[in-house]
Structure 1
Amino acid sequence: MTVAGLLLAAGEGRRIGRPKALVDLGGRLLVERGLATLTVGGCTPVHVVLGAAHDDVLAAADLAGATVVHNRDWRTGLASSLRTGLASLPPDVEAVVVALVDQPLVTPEAIRRLRQAYDEGAVAAVATYDGLPRNPVLLARTTWADVAAQASGDTGARAYLRANPDVTTPVPCDDVGAPDDVDTPEQLTTLRRRLLAQSRP
């Protein structure tokens, strides 16, 4: 079964002061971390959707192994990146794991669990933390048209998942990561301290 990875990394990061793809965390750009998470998690191919500062990201980031997709409508919100990314995937892809560039504590193991849910028959699967659905999500190709149609503004697959609980499989990931966002300088500082503490013996 071919399960692709899709990293949404097109936003300008107004609150943090620069595109999140270019934010450095622990010596790696967030876009590089996201690509590695999907790749190590077993997704292939991996497509990365860029938008704001597209050329700067390409110049600064090591995206070897990824297919870069340019969302020229990135200003309209995350939904356009999701639609652009889904449309870019090759026809042999049966499902995709969608991840966000600003959640660097999501781990490859969470990706593997979503892929396992698909192997076991899930049509849509969502990582949960403390019982709450967050990201990443897995979407079988049969859902893509509806997901794209229902996505709007900064809301991606959430509208579809909420409207179709009968086909959405929750996948607990509390023990293998966290869904913390990097939206502000304060959140970035907190994550840097957290990673530094984890790296100490």
Structure 2
Amino acid sequence: MTVTGIVLAAGGSTRLGRPKQLLEYRGAPLLTAVLRVARRCDFDEVLVALGGGAAEVEAAVDLSGVQVVHNPDFGSGCASTISRALDEVDPHARGVVLMLGDQPGVGSATIAALLDAATPDASAVCRYRDGRGHPLWFGRSMFPELRTLHGDKGVWKLLESGRIPVLEVPIDAEIPLDVDTWDDYVALRAQDSR
């Protein structure tokens, strides 16, 4: 069976005021850095979900080797993007890894550890030194639950609900920064320059 990586990059960047997917990071757009990691992982297919600023992103980001999924309903929250991406997942996939398109600090070793623990009948989260974080694993049996979610924090509410089995994968690192605001971007750049 296959494994699908889904890069969630459909947000409208309302807090930042411009497409965060295109912020410069290591000489390329931020989303490019995340897609480079996804391409190095043991995924049979990589989907990237776009919504806000999609035309600009498609013009500026190298999307070779990935399948673009458009979510016209991106403004209703991340849950709609996950549901839309699930429509395109290979029917033989045993599960999906959800990656954030604005979190370039996640490495392929973290995803490999997540996949080592993954089962088709459970979900899994990364347990960093300072808490739980992305990327996330959802086995195929979890897809119906994912489709019932709403808003931006639905996936975390599901993981914390007790309704589904959740494995914690220990990662010996701090939760990687993700970019929602300009201050987040400044912090990411500062961290990267150390």
Instruction: Give the TM bin, normalised by the shorter chain.
Output: over 0.9
Per-residue CA deviation, residues 156-193 of structure 1 (Å, 9 max, x unaligned), is: 42122112376110012233x63312111122112112
Q: Tell which deviates more after alignment, 104-113 or 27-36.
A: 27-36
CA distance in 1, matches of 2:68, 2:164: 33
Deviations 1:14-48 (A, max 9, x none): 22221222122121222212222222121220000
Total equivalences in the alignment? 194
Distance 1:49 1:10 in 2: 6
Mapped partners of 1:139, 1:41: distance in 2 = 16
Q: Is the alpha carbon distance of 1:123 and 1:49 closer, same or farther for their aligned partners in structure 2, counting shifts above 3 Å? A: same
- Equivalent position SS for 1:5: strand
TM-score normalized by the length of structure 1 = 0.89
CA distance in 1, matches of 2:142, 2:106: 23
Distance 1:141 1:67 in 2: 19
Partner of 1:142: 141
Deviation digits for residues 75-130 of structure 1 (CA, Å, limit 9, x no counterpart):
111111111111111211111100111211111111111110016x7621101222
Q: Which of 174, 178, 195 is matched with 2:175 structurally?
A: 178
Letter in 1 for 2:92: D
Structure 1 segments unaligned to the other structure (5+ residues): none
- State how far apart, in whole Å, the 2-side matches of 1:117 and 1:156 are: 23
Q: Unaligned 5+ residue runs, structure 2?
A: none
1:8-47 correspondence runs (5 A):
8-47=8-47
Residue 69 of structure 1 deviates from its aligned partner by 0.3
Matches within 5 A, 1:5-84: 5-84=5-84
- 2:127 corresponds in structure 1 to 128
Match of 1:110 in 2: 110
Contact 1:122–1:168 under 8 Å retained in 2: no
Post-superposition offset of 1:131: 5.5
Paired position in structure 2 for 1:86: 86
Letter in 2 for 1:195: D
Kindly indicate whether the alpha-carbon contact (under 8 Å) linking 1:127 and 1:133 is maintained by their aligned counterparts in 2: yes
Equivalent residue number for residue 166 of structure 2: 168
Return the TM-score normalized by structure 2: 0.92
Q: Which has the higher helix share?
A: 1
Query: What is the percent sequence identity of the aligned residues?
Result: 34
Is the deviation greater in 69-78 or in 179-188? 179-188
Write out the 4+ residue segments of structure 1 that deviate beyond 6 Å after TM superposition: none
Q: After superposition, what is the alpha-carbon deviation per residue over 1:42-79, rounded to whole angstroms, capped at 9, x for unaligned?
A: 12200000001111111100011000000000111111
Give, as a single letter, the amino acid of the residue that structure 1 aligns with 2:140. Answer: R
| 1:193 paired residue number | 190
Provide the rounded CA distance (Å) in 2 between the counterparts of 1:144 and 1:81.
13
